[in-house]
Amino acid sequence: MPHPVAIHFREIDAAALAAAPGRLVVIAAPGERPSQALRQIDRRARGAILRALASEAFAKLKQGEAMDLAFPSGLAAEAVQLVHLTRRASVTEARKAGASIAKGLGFAGALVLAGPHRLAHEISFGLALRAYDFGAHKTGAPKVFGEVGFQVSAPEAVALRARPMAALAEGVFFARDLVNEPANVLTTDDFAARLAAMHELGLDVEILEEAALKTLGMGALLGVGQGSDSPSKVVVMQWNGGPKGEPPLALVGKGVVFDTGGISIKPAQGMEEMTMDMGGAGVVAGVMRSLALRGAKANVVGLVGLVENMPDGRAQRPGDVVRSMKGDTIEVINTDAEGRLVLADVLWYAQERFKPSAMIDLATLTGAIIVGLGHENAGAFSNNDALVDALLKAASAEGEGAWRMPMGDAYDAKLKSRIADMRNSVGRPGGAITAAQFLARFVKPETPWVHLDIAGVALPPDETALAPKGATGWGVMTLDRLVRDGWERG
């Protein structure tokens, strides 16, 4: 997997700025008094930098945006990048500034004059997140990002604040890599192996194979994968960084490595993107990686159901009835409503085995949530106001869009089946809500729970502020923040 770009923090040194190859970056704001270091390199550049900072073009830039001066005379740099960022900028604007730097980053790297900016660590984090390239399957030379140096007023203090962000960036990258991989590479076996390798980080990883799932009675999950040559699995990742015996936070992810829709087959157009239908499991894996890398002082368990939904002679049919681990029976109306069947069994297993203090599931579950919220927000459904409010606060703090959606008895009533305890699909109206109501039937009343439908945000059609086009890793930062704010001790 690609690792985040190497970033170092150093004392301010005007001579090093003048001699830096690659890109020289200046964090500044219109009308701001230039520092001594900036005045020194401006003299070498014959006044070009301060003239540009005083220009109308620079003043028109929004916070976090940038402009370039190519091959400035008097300096070794191939370009000077001027980034508009006031000292009162928000965290989101600071990360956007870092992303602007990353967009121009190449093999020669960059040296950033951030000076005393209070959000220098956030600028570096935005840079790390945007300097990502998934080129594993291209035959050309891989894109390489050179090292980045930040010249700041208090390098040790900034480095200390940035250290946990490096672990978080690696978790985001891990989630992105998983979602970007094609299904002929990321089979259920390969996915499970990548998760098992994280035992080296201190995670306790356990893989439940089909025989164990049958013994547990996971008929809903197993029915989804019975038409595939890839065996269905559940992977359990435990991080025990909190007090011994304290109930964990449970994170549950949908891991459909490819979704044809099964016998209720999807249209051909766009089906290639169904490699991302394991996005929820990817996020859970990314969070668990980040927690382990930064040594989080919390107990968290991540569980992912890994299956492939294929239409062969053994595949599940519309009209079939399956029995869940809970014991409830489900009439399969639509085999393309498969993610909720996977989650139903894993949610119940998580509660039965771990008795979690709270439970959050993530899934690229419905196209209906994209109709409702587009690609800007995930849909949040919950049985607990305090938990969902904390999650939405964490998402807002991290700049990841999320919006609470309604639930209620009227939606739940639509799940009634003629021949079983419930049916898995009730049609298009309120589709994201009825899917959440289905999941709610597998959540015990005493368990605080949030369901996150991330279908619109896991793989949006265009690049985002902090990610190139492709997988975003949406949710890793939100859930890491939620753990820090609500579950960590000490």
Dist. CA 125–CA 184, nearest whole Å: 32
| DSSP code of residue 33 | P
Is 355 part of the annotated catalytic residue set? Answer: no
Tell me if 323 sits within 8 A of 306, measured CB to CB.
no
Catalytic residue of the set 340, 423, 441, 481: 340
Alpha helices in 328-419 (DSSP H): 339-354, 368-373, 385-397, 409-413
Residue 151 three-state SS: strand
Is 340 part of the annotated catalytic residue set? Answer: yes
Tell me if 150 sits within 8 A of 124, measured CB to CB.
yes
Dist. CA 120–CA 149, nearest whole Å: 11
315 alpha-carbon distance from chain centroid:
31
CB atoms within 10 A of CB 304: 28
Dist. CA 83–CA 77, nearest whole Å: 16
Dist. CA 169–CA 384, nearest whole Å: 30
Closest CA relative to residue 338, chosen from 424, 403, 436, 423: 424
Contacts of 429 (CB under 8 A, 6+ apart): none
CB atoms within 10 A of CB 238: 17
C-alpha neighbours within 13 Å on the C-beta side of residue 393 = 11
Tell me if 238 sits within 8 A of 277, measured CB to CB.
no
Alpha helices in 181-228 (DSSP H): 188-196, 210-216, 219-225
Tell me if 225 sits within 8 A of 339, measured CB to CB.
no
Tell me if 378 sits within 8 A of 269, measured CB to CB.
no
Dist. CA 299–CA 79, nearest whole Å: 47
Dist. CA 218–CA 349, nearest whole Å: 9
Dist. CA 456–CA 443, nearest whole Å: 24
C-alpha torsion angle, residues 460, 380, 453, 442 (rounded to 10): 170
Run of H or E residues at 19: helix 14-19
Dist. CA 490–CA 487, nearest whole Å: 10
CB atoms within 10 A of CB 62: 8
Tell me if 283 sits within 8 A of 473, measured CB to CB.
yes
Catalytic residue of the set 161, 194, 266, 484: 266
- What is the number of H-type helices and E-type strands within the chain? 17, 17
Which residues are designated catalytic? 266, 340
